[in-house]
Amino acid sequence: MTPAARLQAAIDVLSPVLSGAPAERELTRWARGARYAGSKDRAAVRDHVFDALRMLRSSAWLGGLDDRPVEKMDAHAVVSGLLRQQGQEPETLFTGSGYAPPRPPPPGPPLEQAPEAVRLDVADWLLPRLCASLGDRTEPVCDALRHRAPVDLRVNLARTTREEVVRQLAADGHAAHAIDVSPSALRLDGPARGLNRLPAYQDGLFELQDAGSQTLVDRLPLQDGMRVLDLCAGGGGKTLAMAAAAKLEISAHDAIPERMRDLPARAARAGIEVDLVEDPSGPFDLVVCDVPCSGSGAWRRQPEAKWRLTPERLTELQSIQSDILRRASSLTRPGGTVAYMTCSLLRDENDAVVERSGLSVVSRWSTDPLAGTDGFFIALMHP
């Protein structure tokens, strides 16, 4: 595919996404119908779509759409505005010939003239909440969310060392380096595609996991012999990280068990035993609840979520978070620890939920993309 044809494909994918369709589903649908597209073509189209979602409002503004709701945006104009943000002239690729997109619309006013929420690529209603949560870090954090996230790996230190994984990755053509955020963290220096086919991955020596997420596990009071419950396990990334950090009796649960479908295979690959439970029975020494949240700290990786969040959904999430925290407390032994975690930047989902819980707070900690990781929050509490 030519660069122009890739842009047209990105426009075709983005158009239904702006109307509410899931981006991953539309990318898969396009790829199945585009048998002529190679792996590099598919990767380029994906990058265009996700870059546009990260910088959606500002790209729409520069594409001549002024300030309008997401569902009323035109994907053709958005992608032309994206190119302008990236220092390219869309006129050179939007020629209308062959498989190229039609001529671009006239550019919009300079971005400096746009409203603040447009420049920062967030919803109008959300900006005051971000300001209340982040203070003078609001603008740089929002800017960081407009760019791609790095690819981090968690080394299975129960089986190997970071140095050995770096060596094996290099032998397979992938450069990586250790970062200080966590003793188990590596950061790739290039693309991540094909990692799950590498021998080191198949042997359970590493997993893909943001370094900030690894740091949350580093902050848990894990000791050999503890009985631990991961109450909102999802895919099991933190479950596996905890099990690699200490010899635990560890159980994993999720309200939607299907989310854990890959966990047994991942645990077996890592040489770890995890008990998947439908109805956990306490008491546990430690209950970890990585609760459903806005995901605002990870919007670099899931940018469409930024445009799906509403005030009503945020209120609903806070209620769910409080309910989970109450359940976690009931499953924790006296003197044990409840660990409340989110990947949110919002005080509404972090400190506010913890302070309403009535639990005794031992410590709390947070990070955001300015530290080079996704945004996370953790509070350790006694019931």
Which residues belong to the annotated binding site for S-adenosyl-L-methionine? 254, 290
**Is residue 343 among the annotated active site residues?**
yes
Tokens matching residue 281: 């029975």
> Catalytic one among 142, 232, 293, 343?
343
- Closest of 157, 142, 193, 145 to residue 172, by C-alpha: 193
Q: Per the annotation, where are the binding residues?
A: 254, 290
Q: Interior CA angle at 350 toward 343 and 185, to 5°?
A: 35
Tokens matching residue 153: 């790996």
3-state secondary structure 264-324: HHHHHHHCCCCEECCCCCCCEEEEEEECCCCCHHHCCCCCHHHHHCCHHHHHHHHHHHHHH
Neighbours of 22 (CB within 10 A): 12
E runs forming strands in the chain: 152-155, 176-178, 185-188, 206-208, 227-230, 249-252, 275-276, 284-290, 332-342, 360-367, 376-382
Active-site positions?
A: 343
